[in-house]
Amino acid sequence: MMKSSITTLVLFILLATSSGIVQSADIPISKFGGVPNSDITQALANAWNEACQSATASKIMIPSGQYRMKAVAVKGPCKAPIELYVDGTIIAPPNPKDLNNEWQWVKFEYVDFLTISGSGVFDGQGATAWKLNDCGKNPNCARLSMNFGFNFVKHSVVGSITSKDSKNFNVNVLGCQNFTFDGFKISNPGNSINTDGIHMGRSTDVKILNTNIATGDDCISIGDGSVQTTISNVKCGPGHGISVGSLGKFTTELPVQDLMVKQVTFTNTDNGLRIKTWPSAPGTSPITGLTYQDITMINVKNPIIIDQEYCPWNQCSKQSPSKIKISNVTFKNIRGTSGTQEGVSLICSSGVPCEGVVLSDVDLTFNGSPATAVCRNAKPMIQGKSPQCTAPKA
């Protein structure tokens, strides 16, 4: 599955046409006045419109140099595959108001067979906005833009470009199918509030491969309706780890199932592998079929954590247990160092206790001694060198 974006694009073209490989038509951004040190907002929109109307594959080219760009939304369906090749640095306005309250700075919608390639950087200039990013505490918070939005995109690849200093989440993936990140990079400092690396929901067969993520929140957050997700060969840190959830706030949520996380390294993160659901909330859609294996933890505060009493900033009550059933979750070959004594914390719902949890060869140390495991409403199967569960302290 780990094909390069170019190989994948060629495959897409073969599938999409009936007469072999079709050479893509180059569309330089300069054709529409997009030159270095200029604003390319309209130039990119014009180049996309030409590519989208082309009956043969097109390649929009943004060469090296610095470019300014306001919010851009490009849409399909298009007539043929499109590659957006970026070698330059594209810079967002530093003032959030200059993005006209758009939820995403660069947005792709209803597109099939899209490839984004090159070594370019999308710089969201988020430093001036992070102090405004207090939505967890302030219900009237300012609406800040994410760097990328991929909405209802299918059979597509995002390659080795970089998302830098997003004002909000770096990437949101919604309603996508057969969507791959391969060689992608995310670069935000650890103090950048609410800047999740990649958030996904309502999507099937999303793959995150060979990707480095540094951010101030979850490196990857997996929302409701995420099915057949693969995360492999990923480096996370700084950040809050890889999270399923938080889930349970809404009755309209869909199940999360069939997640594979393997060959991931967490370095100096707040969490490693986390599942979180809200107590005293109406949602009931289950979480099932999760496998985490071949994971390295380097000074991770909470390497393995199931938290079904998730309630940050006292936003909720814990009077009634979470209604979300968590089942068939395997943690296998998890090794490294924990930043706390409790390397494993499985705090499940008293209403629907966790079932089918396996700890297999979980070998974590804290200050040179074996880390411990605490469990409530969970009776994991212990295999190999893994800690035995004890009850958490009152």
> In whole angstroms, what separates CA 148 from the centre of its chain?
11
Model pLDDT, residue 49: 98
Tokens of 275: 């599942």
Is the per-residue pLDDT at 16 higher than 60? no
Contact in structure between 360 and 338 (CB atoms under 8 Å): no
In this structure, what DSSP letter does residue 39 have?
Answer: B
Neighbours of 26 (CB within 10 A): 12
Cα(200)–Cα(220) distance, rounded to whole angstroms? 8
Is the per-residue pLDDT at 120 higher than 80? yes
Residue numbers annotated as active site? 240
Tokens of 378: 């969970």
Strand partners, 257: 227, 288
Cα(324)–Cα(282) distance, rounded to whole angstroms? 9
The answer for residues whose C-beta is within 8 angstroms of residue 31's C-beta and 6 or more apart is: 47
Tokens of 394: 């009152």
CATH fold of 5-390 reads Pectate Lyase C-like (2.160.20)
Cα(211)–Cα(189) distance, rounded to whole angstroms? 16
The answer for residues whose C-beta is within 8 angstroms of residue 7's C-beta and 6 or more apart is: none
Model pLDDT, residue 132: 82
Cα(92)–Cα(98) distance, rounded to whole angstroms? 9
Cα(323)–Cα(346) distance, rounded to whole angstroms? 16
Model pLDDT, residue 19: 37
pLDDT digits (tens, 9 = 90+) for 318-370: 889 999 999 999 999 999 999 999 999 999 999 999 999 999 999 999 999 99
Q: What is the mean pLDDT of residues 27-51?
A: 98
**Side-chain half-sphere CA neighbours of 322 within 13 A:** 28
pLDDT digits (tens, 9 = 90+) for 284-315: 999 999 999 999 999 999 999 999 999 987 77
